[in-house]
Structure 1
Amino acid sequence: MRWIVLVLPLCLLTVPAAAAEGDRKLNVVFILADDLGWGEVGAFGQERIPTPNLDRLAREGMRFTRHYSGAPVCAPSRCVLMTGKHLGHAEVRGNQQAKLKFPQFTEGQYPLSQQALSWPMLLKKAGYATGAMGKWGLGPVGSTGEPNRKGFDLFFGYNCQSVAHSYFPPHLWRNRERFVLNDPPIPGHLKKPEGEVKLEDYQGKQYAPKLMIAEAEKFIAAHAGGPFLLYLPFIEPHVSMQPPAESVNRFPKEWDTEVYRGENGYLPHPRPRAAYAAMISDLDSYVGRVLTALDLAGVSGRTLVVFSSDNGTTHDRPANPKLHVGGADPKFFNSTRDLRGFKGSVYEGGIRVPMIAKLPGKIMAGTVNETPGYFADWFPTLCDATGIEKPEGLDGESLWPALTDGTTHARTRPMVWVFPEYQGQVAVQIGDLKAVRTGLKTKKPGAWEVYDLVKDRGETKDIAGENATFIKEVESVLRREVDNNDVFPLTIPGINDSKS
């Protein structure tokens, strides 16, 4: 009998562990806070509210100090984030309810179109498992903008921003299935002009945030083999203020000298300052649970974690000038530090947001980066991070070089905000200079204002009179970069008058 001996190369029989690990695709976790101010995180200067997990993320990653949201309010900011189109090109430029244009829907916001391309769609096409837990706001269930049609295998959370005003809502959505939570639910808006305000009067049976973070932990465990994308648009600290009593009681009783009765909207609360701090503290705890879940799954080393906020902290209302919308008190917490404006404004306090990114071995730990960037940049950045080819027509530019080499980069493209709400506003940032116009939907639109954000990030000194050439450059940018949008129209004097 003759024997045939096959000698196989060793490389066909064994694969070195390091090589196998290196061949695995990068996971992505993108965490988005709701109405979190630039100064409401310890790593960005917050002194009253402890945020140990976000501070850990900053120690283990990179903190960007000149990062901006896509818009000063929820839906358009998320549209810019998902599509890589700034507000001059974005389909969604305001918080319009879907039912105004599509009466068949009873909840949800104006939807992204079928043609709108999102980066989760590209990651899914590339073989990623894709999940989202939190608040959507870009199209009702059954519309062209629902999460399942924009790249997510699994969505669990609030489809509608208005439903998300309550932390004890009637339902959440699991993909296209209504997931009943509270019967009866707790409404997100009530007033109590007289009598005792009790925390327990505004608490229901099932607290939605606890369910959403638990779902996120399950997703990480289930997809540890990767690759996966996990998008976590949490609802904290957007009012109403309904955190559990145990969270509120962690903060000093001396903080609150008067109750909030709902006069500035949303729900009353006996301890509004403690409640607001509790929401941010709870948000921080969710970040900690995500980081722990990544560690337990053994995937922290190959997971890019990004944290930011959709816009600045909430603005004031005249009914109670001591407090802001929903009873929040940004002055007490120094929520914007020295920045001007709040949510709903294209001044820095409305759009400059905290941003932290972590990726061991790629992003240098404990670093601070002053590269100017905004939500339109995340589409090309995540394409570069995951090795996916970038589509044509994106407005942002990749932050990946700044993230991975640790140095501050100059932008080659202007940053643009065209915001038709809150009386109509527009802003353009080129280099260190930023131009702003407000009141565009009033009888007397404001003139151009110009600020040097390096010398004057608080926007206290208008230097428009010294920068006529810059204003002409800004106007040229707007003529080139602003498309008509019949759903969210805005006339910019001297720019698109003839097209409106």
Structure 2
Amino acid sequence: MQARRFLLALGLTGLLLSSQTVQARPLNVVFILADDLGWGEVGCFGQEKIPTPNLDALAAEGTRLTQHYSGAPVCAPSRCVLMTGKHLGHAEIRGNLQAKKHFPQFNEGQHPISEKALTMAQVFQKAGYATGAMGKWGLGPVGSTGEPNKKGFDLFFGYNCQAVAHSYYPPYLWRNREQITINTHPIPGHAKQPEGDVKMEDWIGETYAPKLMIQEAEKFIQDQAEKPFFLYLAFIEPHVSMHPPKASVEKFPAEWDTEPYRGENGYVPHPRPHAGYAAMISDLDGYVGRVMAALKKAGVADETLVIFTSDNGATHARSPKSPFHVGGADPKFFHSTADLRGYKGSVYEGGIRVPTIARLPGKIPSGASNDTAGFFADWFPTLCEATGVAAPTGLDGQSLWPALTQGKKQERTQPLLWVFPEYNGQVAVRMGDYKAVRQNLKTKKPGSWELYDLSQDRAEAHDIAAAHPDFIQKAETILKQEVSENSTFPLVIPGVTGE
């Protein structure tokens, strides 16, 4: 009897120690970033034509953030805000700029973030996390101060350069500082076919880059399962060019497409542009499913905070003569912005409000939605608080962790703002439910301030600036306080910065 009691006590002690070990294990983080995915292009955010079962499942197991914003209306600056926790008033990168413009020694890649710029990956790496990034980088060429290995990632695999990422069948991908050839006959990212039959097979190559990147992500999860890890998955879907695998395209109805896209708005032609675009989002959803399956297989799914979002809104129009937007996308067909105004490249809601989901069983409520207003600068402090990693001082965002874990709307103490020198120059400031916008700052006739009450008018259809001069004054005061000079990405804001 005494021996049985001893063994029972020993077993209970072991269970207690095991429980304590599990509780003491640091939280993993998987941050998934889509490319140009519109706010309404996911089922759980209202999409009706493109099935997204894995993202819908993620939302069912977690919380949707319904008023979350990207860092910028386009790729590179949005990623800079995300990685550094600095909004566009302070961010080093405020637009899409090729590195070679100021650094002629580089023939690919975007303007690099500096040596002094501190990324969340560097903070996690210093805290003992294994760090990996797969997908698209866009913050500095290999050999520059902004290359992924110098910015906190033990392993990078994917596209360093956004322009190379226009092709899903590129000549090579990067593994850290090594170019890995994947297609001896790469497919270009841009072409036109004004006449003749547009054939899908003409734009399909040997090796599909996304296939390799998701495989690398699965391997990283398996390899790092025994220690804490931070994994950044910057997938390239549904950013054009549009040449997904034929099998993915054929899942969607033939009657969707009555005319081909011929490359008239950039990127490559496609015989079935509606089906092709849907295929890219469907494939992206499949990657999310594979990531979750890999986490479960590794036994760490419930110890991993998973975030899903997009770097900006759905693709904008180009030629008024074409029924398609850039690259053959058709956001009107898919209701991609779900009635929000504007597209990628705009600081209106359709350009920067993005579908966002957070999942962590036992901490983040399941099947919930949260109206807390937040943006990419918030993720640095949020992930630090969630994991217990010390956050650096001087970040522009505020932690969303209390809102996520308490399941209720959180009021902001830090401003939401965008200072965007491209697309004619734009700024926006959100204060509570009110959002002030100013357009065309780089033209001869800068636009006047506009103001919208998003609680009543999320489509930004009714400008109420004339009735609320106090809010416009407040927006200008915030910009005066929050916008630092940036000679690489200059923008004069009348009444705020020097003429």
Task: Give the equivalent residue in structure 2 for 1:224.
Answer: 225
Mapped to 1, the partners of 2:65 and 2:386 lie a distance apart of 17
* TM-score, with length taken from structure 2: 0.97
Task: Give the equivalent residue in structure 1 for 2:192.
Answer: 191
Mapped to 1, the partners of 2:396 and 2:88 lie a distance apart of 10
Task: Give the equivalent residue in structure 2 for 1:167.
Answer: 168
Following superposition, the deviation at residue 10 of structure 1 comes to 7.3
2:367 is the counterpart of 1:363: no
Task: Give the equivalent residue in structure 1 for 2:394.
Answer: 393
Q: Is the 8 A contact 2:185 2:206 kept in 1?
A: no
Mapped to 2, the partners of 1:108 and 1:224 lie a distance apart of 32
2:407 is the counterpart of 1:406: yes
Task: Give the equivalent residue in structure 2 for 1:5.
Answer: none
* TM-score, with length taken from structure 1: 0.97
What amino acid is aligned across from residue 324 of structure 1 in structure 2? H
Paired positions, count: 490
What amino acid is aligned across from residue 243 of structure 2 in structure 1? Q
Mapped to 2, the partners of 1:204 and 1:102 lie a distance apart of 32
Mapped to 2, the partners of 1:312 and 1:321 lie a distance apart of 20
What amino acid is aligned across from residue 72 of structure 2 in structure 1? A
Q: Is the 8 A contact 1:428 1:474 kept in 2?
A: yes
2:473 is the counterpart of 1:472: yes
Following superposition, the deviation at residue 16 of structure 1 comes to 2.0
Task: Give the equivalent residue in structure 2 for 1:54.
Answer: 55
Mapped to 1, the partners of 2:333 and 2:302 lie a distance apart of 38
What secondary structure, in the 3-state scheme, does the structure 2 residue paired with 1:409 have?
Answer: coil
Q: Is the 8 A contact 1:158 1:172 kept in 2?
A: yes
Task: Give the equivalent residue in structure 2 for 1:431.
Answer: 432
Task: Give the equivalent residue in structure 2 for 1:97.
Answer: 98
Q: Is the 8 A contact 2:84 2:120 kept in 1?
A: yes
Following superposition, the deviation at residue 321 of structure 1 comes to 3.3
Q: Is the 8 A contact 1:170 1:181 kept in 2?
A: yes
2:150 is the counterpart of 1:152: no
Following superposition, the deviation at residue 320 of structure 1 comes to 3.7
What secondary structure, in the 3-state scheme, does the structure 1 residue paired with 2:372 have?
Answer: coil
> What pairs with 1:277-288 in structure 2 (closer than 5 Å)?
277-288=278-289
Task: Give the equivalent residue in structure 2 for 1:237.
Answer: 238
Mapped to 2, the partners of 1:214 and 1:89 lie a distance apart of 36
What secondary structure, in the 3-state scheme, does the structure 2 residue paired with 1:304 have?
Answer: strand
Mapped to 2, the partners of 1:153 and 1:125 lie a distance apart of 11
Give the gaps of 5 or more residues in structure 1.
Answer: 1-8
What amino acid is aligned across from residue 211 of structure 2 in structure 1? K
> What pairs with 1:339-358 in structure 2 (closer than 5 Å)?
339-358=340-359
What amino acid is aligned across from residue 135 of structure 1 in structure 2? K
What amino acid is aligned across from residue 156 of structure 2 in structure 1? F
Q: Is the 8 A contact 1:156 1:173 kept in 2?
A: yes
Mapped to 1, the partners of 2:111 and 2:468 lie a distance apart of 38
2:57 is the counterpart of 1:76: no
Mapped to 2, the partners of 1:77 and 1:495 lie a distance apart of 23
Task: Give the equivalent residue in structure 1 for 2:5.
Answer: none
Q: Is the 8 A contact 1:31 1:306 kept in 2?
A: yes
Following superposition, the deviation at residue 17 of structure 1 comes to 1.5
> What pairs with 1:94-133 in structure 2 (closer than 5 Å)?
94-133=95-134
Mapped to 2, the partners of 1:273 and 1:262 lie a distance apart of 14
Q: Deviations over 1:55-75 (max 9, x none)?
A: 000000000100000000000
2:366 is the counterpart of 1:379: no
Mapped to 1, the partners of 2:120 and 2:328 lie a distance apart of 36
Task: Give the equivalent residue in structure 2 for 1:210.
Answer: 211
What secondary structure, in the 3-state scheme, does the structure 2 residue paired with 1:372 have?
Answer: strand
What secondary structure, in the 3-state scheme, does the structure 2 residue paired with 1:371 have?
Answer: strand
The percentage of counterpart residues that share the same residue type is: 69
Mapped to 2, the partners of 1:183 and 1:320 lie a distance apart of 36
Q: Deviations over 1:201-257 (max 9, x none)?
A: 011100000000000000000011120011000000000001000000000000000
Task: Give the equivalent residue in structure 1 for 2:452.
Answer: 451
What secondary structure, in the 3-state scheme, does the structure 1 residue paired with 2:358 have?
Answer: strand
Task: Give the equivalent residue in structure 1 for 2:201.
Answer: 200
> What pairs with 1:2-17 in structure 2 (closer than 5 Å)?
14=14, 16-17=17-18
Q: Is the 8 A contact 2:44 2:56 kept in 1?
A: yes
Mapped to 1, the partners of 2:450 and 2:488 lie a distance apart of 27
What secondary structure, in the 3-state scheme, does the structure 1 residue paired with 2:82 have?
Answer: helix
Mapped to 2, the partners of 1:456 and 1:410 lie a distance apart of 19
Q: Is the 8 A contact 1:263 1:320 kept in 2?
A: no
Q: Deviations over 1:337-382 (max 9, x none)?
A: 1100000000000000000000011001101000000000000001
Mapped to 1, the partners of 2:442 and 2:43 lie a distance apart of 38
Mapped to 2, the partners of 1:495 and 1:202 lie a distance apart of 48
Mapped to 2, the partners of 1:322 and 1:128 lie a distance apart of 48
Q: Is the 8 A contact 1:220 1:293 kept in 2?
A: yes
What amino acid is aligned across from residue 454 of structure 1 in structure 2? S
What amino acid is aligned across from residue 470 of structure 1 in structure 2? F
Task: Give the equivalent residue in structure 2 for 1:491.
Answer: 492
Mapped to 1, the partners of 2:306 and 2:390 lie a distance apart of 21
> What pairs with 1:232-271 in structure 2 (closer than 5 Å)?
232-271=233-272
Q: Deviations over 1:414-448 (max 9, x none)?
A: 10100000000000001000000000000000000
Mapped to 2, the partners of 1:203 and 1:358 lie a distance apart of 35
What amino acid is aligned across from residue 141 of structure 1 in structure 2? V
> What pairs with 1:416-427 in structure 2 (closer than 5 Å)?
416-427=417-428
Task: Give the equivalent residue in structure 2 for 1:3.
Answer: none
Task: Give the equivalent residue in structure 2 for 1:462.
Answer: 463
Mapped to 2, the partners of 1:230 and 1:456 lie a distance apart of 37
Q: Deviations over 1:5-45 (max 9, x none)?
A: xxxx979x856211110010000000000000000000000
What secondary structure, in the 3-state scheme, does the structure 2 residue paired with 1:457 have?
Answer: coil
Following superposition, the deviation at residue 388 of structure 1 comes to 1.3
Mapped to 2, the partners of 1:196 and 1:461 lie a distance apart of 45
What secondary structure, in the 3-state scheme, does the structure 2 residue paired with 1:179 have?
Answer: strand
Q: Is the 8 A contact 1:264 1:320 kept in 2?
A: no
Q: Is the 8 A contact 1:69 1:353 kept in 2?
A: yes
Give the gaps of 5 or more residues in structure 2.
Answer: 1-8
Mapped to 2, the partners of 1:226 and 1:200 lie a distance apart of 43
What secondary structure, in the 3-state scheme, does the structure 2 residue paired with 1:133 have?
Answer: strand
Following superposition, the deviation at residue 391 of structure 1 comes to 1.2
